[in-house]
Amino acid sequence: MSFLTYLINGLSLGSIYAIIALGYTMVYGIAKMLNFAHGDFIMVGCYVIFSVIGAMGGNSTTGVIIAVVVSIILCSLLGITTEFIAYRPLRGAASPLAVLITAIGVSYFLENLALIIFGADVKSFSSVITWKGISFANGELKIQGVTIVTIAVSIIILVCLQLFINKTKQGQAMLAVAEDKGAATLMGINVNKTIMLTFAIGSALAAVAGALLCSAYPNLSPYVGAMPGIKAFVAAVLGGIGSIPGAMIGGIVLGIVEILSKTYISSQLSDAIVFGILVIVLIVKPTGILGKVIQEKV
Amino acid sequence: MRIDKKTKDNLITYGIVVATFLIVQALASTGHLTNHIKGLLVPMTYYAIIAVALNLCVGILGELSIGHCGFMCIGAFTSAAFSKITAEKIPSGPRFLIAFVIGIAFAALFGFLIGIPVLRLKGDYLAIVTLAFGEIIKNVINAFYIGVDSKGMHFSMENQMALGLEPDGLMVVNGAMGITGTPHDASFTIGIVMLLVSLVVVLNLINSRDGRAIMAIRDNYIAAEASGINVTRYKMLAFTISAAIAGAAGVLYSHNITTLTASSQYFGYNASIMILVYVVLGGIGNIRGSVVAACILYLLPELLRGLNKYRMLIYSIVLIVMMIVNWSPKVIEWRKKTFANFGIKKKV
């Protein structure tokens, strides 16, 4: 039974990674850039929820809903602003590294801004999910409310995102821009607007992930998003960067491996094992689990 | 005597390093340097060295690596372990020399081993795997326990007790606590000498037949392969040399501090990214630029210490603005126009 509990915990952590990885993979697919600041959007989302709940005094249901909605909106705006100020001027720069370094700059900026506003001390985040959860088999198998909500939310997000991309005009525009910017422009697609929308969705997902992450692991600091951000990036690569189902699979594999190796092998080496899995998968399949193999032509 | 352009360029680079060294020494001997600044000199040299190493990988070989601090970590730990074991047996001069050889050899060995799988990948996949290896190295070293006693070397990956060390045994690597009490052998002079050595190695490599082959692979690997260049061999060559130089930076690092731990602050992906920032701002493929950028950007946050908690915020804004000014196509166009208006012809 304990194995099952760990498996479900892994699934829950994996779902959080998956939600973050979805944001990563969408932005990468469309803007062809690694948004290193994505992890910090999670942190911003967490602090917004923390502040709004604090300002409303208490953890009431309406308070939580308002806080999460405010956090999603602010994170989307942050994503759009960042893209507009820091990334758009560098589109078409001679080296793709230029925008990568700017993203690192944005990441430093957000972390240090949070450090100045909220201080370096770790704040205790009260879970936005108050439901205690359910237990099976005479209480031997307990599943926490946070775990169930996390898994459910990630499934809902995946389904909605797939529908959005495959069924709506904006979604199709995103696919077109990801495929070929020049051709998309010729077809009358506003590339700038499409990229902006992608950033807004990706950042909104980061806010959702932040709410879930801090509910499961309630320690809030300016660096809370850094490691989950990198792990989610690894998840996105594992699944094949640019692929939405791939990000989901990568995230869940990573979460389960992390929790199981922490439990059964060594808590110190769990990160090494997680990264080791990535190395092995990429050696066997160099473009990730669901990545497209693009043959280079002369 | 006629000196061709490349040799002249290289001589200028060496000249800048030597001149900096002389100026700093002159300032130090006349008492113009505070202890705070003196403490920054050795780090400045090892950051310059690793920036040169990374530029060989990113700028010359053309493969983005965000795990170079992992090689620095290997160089630091192997050499510090050696120095600690032999601290009382070998005098400091030869010991430090052997420490360098050991650190560089191990970093090169790992560079070679890691290069085999990594260099099969391309672009961002390659980058993320170097990041993964950097984190793996850091994590594994944090779980390492090595001790020495009369029976020889003991090794464990569990805890200190599992070593079964004799009471008078020497604890060398103590897991996450790292190595304490490494002899303080590094100095600014040795750092500058190592920087010059790595510059000579890298600049000569670039201007050699091998270097041209490496750059041909960077520019178009299909064309390079079609011209009969052994792509794998040259990629491995550049990557291994780059790892070896990063290892040398690690040796300097570990012999400049008393407590060496494989912390994320110094050996994690964040540290590797910081080095990448030096390389990109100094100019990708421009070795001299890397040295200058590493020195300036390392000193900048330290000199901004007066601004207290705002210093990293200012640093990040400077970073973003510099990137946009240097690289944005629109800004470059605008700069060209403005210079044209003033009648200044500038090569962009």
Q: Is the pLDDT of residue B346 over 60?
A: no
Report CB contact under 8 Å: B122, A286: yes
Cα–Cα distance list, B29 to B23, B25, B34, B143, B185 (Å): 10, 6, 11, 44, 20
CA–CA min distance B109, chain A (Å): 18
pLDDT the model gives residue A298: 65
CA–CA min distance B100, chain A (Å): 27
Instruction: Calculate the dihedral angle through the C-alpha atoms of A80, A84, A86, A90, rounding to the nearest 10 degrees.
Output: 130
Q: Is the pLDDT of residue B295 over 70?
A: yes
Q: Is the pLDDT of residue B23 over 80?
A: yes
Query: Taking residues A136-146, what's their average pLDDT?
Result: 76
pLDDT class for B299, splitting at 50, 70, 90? confident
Considering CB atoms only, which of A97, A275, A288 is closest to B135?
A275
pLDDT the model gives residue A137: 67
Where is average pLDDT lowest: A23-32, B185-194, B225-234?
Answer: A23-32
Cα–Cα distance list, B135 to A42, A48, A138, B123 (Å): 22, 30, 42, 19
pLDDT the model gives residue B153: 78
Q: Is the pLDDT of residue A59 over 80?
A: no
Report CB contact under 8 Å: B284, A271: no
pLDDT the model gives residue A5: 86
Please tell me whether the overall predicted TM-score, pTM, comes out greater than 0.80 for this model. yes
Neighbours of B107 (CB within 10 A): 32
Which H or E element spans position B180? strand B179-180
Say whether residue A293 is in contact with chain B using an 8 A CB cutoff.
no
Q: Tens of pLDDT along B41-76?
A: 999 999 999 999 999 999 999 898 988 999 999 999
The most confident of the ranges A11-20, A134-143, B85-94, B323-332 is A11-20
- Write out residues 91-130 of A within 8 Å (CB-CB) of B: 91-95, 97-102, 104-106, 108-109, 111-113, 115-116
Q: How far apart are CA A26 and CA A43, in angstroms?
A: 19
Q: How far apart are CA A253 and CA A138, in angstroms?
A: 29
Say whether residue B128 is in contact with chain A using an 8 A CB cutoff.
yes
Residue of B110, B129, B272, B286 to mutate, interface with A, max A Cβ within 10 Å: B129
- Write out residues 65-94 of A within 8 Å (CB-CB) of B: 86, 89-94
Query: Taking residues B317-333, what's their average pLDDT?
Result: 87
Q: Tens of pLDDT along A201-245?
A: 999 999 999 999 888 888 888 888 888 888 998 898 888 888 888
- State the Cα angle at A44 between A42 and B281, rounded to 5°: 85
pLDDT the model gives residue B1: 63
Q: Tens of pLDDT along B98-130?
A: 999 999 999 999 999 999 988 888 877 888 899
CA–CA min distance B246, chain A (Å): 21
Report CB contact under 8 Å: A97, B280: yes
For chains A and B, CB pairs below 8 A equal: 134
Q: What is the DSSP letter of A54?
A: H
Average pLDDT, whole number, for chain A?
A: 88
What ipTM score was computed for the predicted complex, to two decimals?
0.85
